[in-house]
Amino acid sequence: MQLEQLGPYLWRIPRDAERGMRVPGLVVADERLLAAIKSDASLEQVANGATLPGIVKAALAMPDIHQGYGLPVGGVVATDAERGVVSPGAIGFDINCGVRLLRTALEAAEIGDRMERLVEALFAAVPTGVGSRGSLSLDAKALDEVMARGAAWAVGRGYGLGEDLGRIESDGCIPGADPVRVSERARERGRRQLGTLGSGNHFLEVQVVEEVHDERAASALGVRAGQVTVMIHTGSRGLGHQVCTDYLDVTGKALGRYGITVPDRQLACAPVDSPEGRAYLGAMGAAANFAFANRQVLSHWAREVFERALGIGARDLGMAVVYDVAHNIAKEEQHAVEGGTRRLLVHRKGATRAFPGQPVIVPGDMGRASYLLLGTEVAMRETFGSTCHGAGRLLSRTAAVKAARGRRIDQELRARGVVARATGRDALAEEMPEAYKDVTEVVDVVHRFGISSRVARLRPLGVIKG
């Protein structure tokens, strides 16, 4: 794949008409990260994304990209909101997989000798693993309300506080969500999964604010050095996965109807204003709202576990939402393009919205660090207000398990000061630190390029995974 260097942190895949590219590809990375990116089909997938009808400016890739389904994880494409298309594969199976950061009034030094007890209590209270089911069982009416109202449904049922909602992207509810567009199969998969963590790279992590890079911004967000924080990474579970599966079939069948050709059927799409496009966007919004509600319920349970395990009250705990961001989603937004302002449908797949002043949460691996950032004006100009979403995988799960053979990842993590619990024999091996790029290198690139700025570095103390 031909690449042209435009600057120390920006590379271009030239537009190739023979490939059907309507715009070039742009990759945010330095030379070190680019070497890892070239090891899989990520750049080919960026070029494929540039063929989508109605795409604007460029197909974009963040420094944490790795090969995904259709579009690489870490990819961003924006299509015209009236004349473009929507592609389920350019959003992903785990709709609104996202991250929530909670701050507390606790100092890490206060709970160091109780971390084992706290992690065990969290592991006992939060359902984890493939197909995990929670204690909430939703009837058809309640599930419709969750998909229509998102996090507000959970708050209305006593799971959290009203003030939480203003600290969630889109206030925890995607407008235009249409539960009617969600299949019975998707509904059945989600009926018992609200309040569950799931498997893979999903986690609940107890952390300490190890370093503050921007004192003013950190103070405004209630974050300080030495403070205990909690990070929750999960999404729409089986419901969202089924929505994507259903509409990949729908849009695949619609390609010929609208005269659309794509180089990879994993990028099947439909015009935004078509019946198929509108139906998918309604179902996607419903799944995204389920994910917001899921993280809201898990936050409430985390509060309860901390109070019970540490023997303190809500006031002394002081657990509050810093922010909650979506990773896999398409959102209609206004952006400056070619001297004017246009309504665009911005597909972010393993990428985070980074509007000026908006908190950005970037989880790393469970052995090193995660980061709190802020979005910038530069991101609005360069990347449709987008930045990275994590460290990005270096090894497939199969390769990670092979590399971990004969090792005790839990003991290696404990040597780093991290107490870890997981469901499944290979769960820790699949997610071992070496399976990921160093998130500090990824964050350095987006910080230096200017599409988000560092606020604080967070170090893991305890983690539960599926």
Active-site option among 233, 347, 389, 447? 389
Residue positions counted in the chain: 466
Count CB neighbours of 12 within 10 A. 16
Count CB neighbours of 275 within 10 A. 11
**Is the distance from CB of 196 to CB of 132 less than 8 angstroms?**
yes
Ramachandran bin of 12, using left for φ above 0, alpha for ψ from -120 to 50, beta for the remaining angles: beta
What does the alpha-carbon distance between residue 355 and residue 385 come to, in Å, rounded to a whole number? 5
What does the alpha-carbon distance between residue 49 and residue 39 come to, in Å, rounded to a whole number? 19
Q: Which helix (H) or strand (E) holds 25?
A: strand 25-28
Which amino acid, residue 1? Answer: M
Known catalytic residue at 347: no
Helix, strand or coil, per DSSP, at residue 128: strand
Which amino acid, residue 403? Answer: A
Query: The tokens 């052995």 sit on which residue?
Result: 367
Report the candidate in 460, 456, 159 with the shortest Cα–Cα distance to residue 293.
Answer: 159
Report the candidate in 381, 344, 386 with the shortest Cα–Cα distance to residue 78.
Answer: 344
What does the alpha-carbon distance between residue 272 and residue 292 come to, in Å, rounded to a whole number? 24
The β-bridge partners of 102 are: 230, 321
Q: CA angle 162-164-168, nearest 5°?
A: 130
Task: Look at strands 370-375 and 386-387 and give their pairing.
Answer: unpaired
**Which residues are designated catalytic?**
389
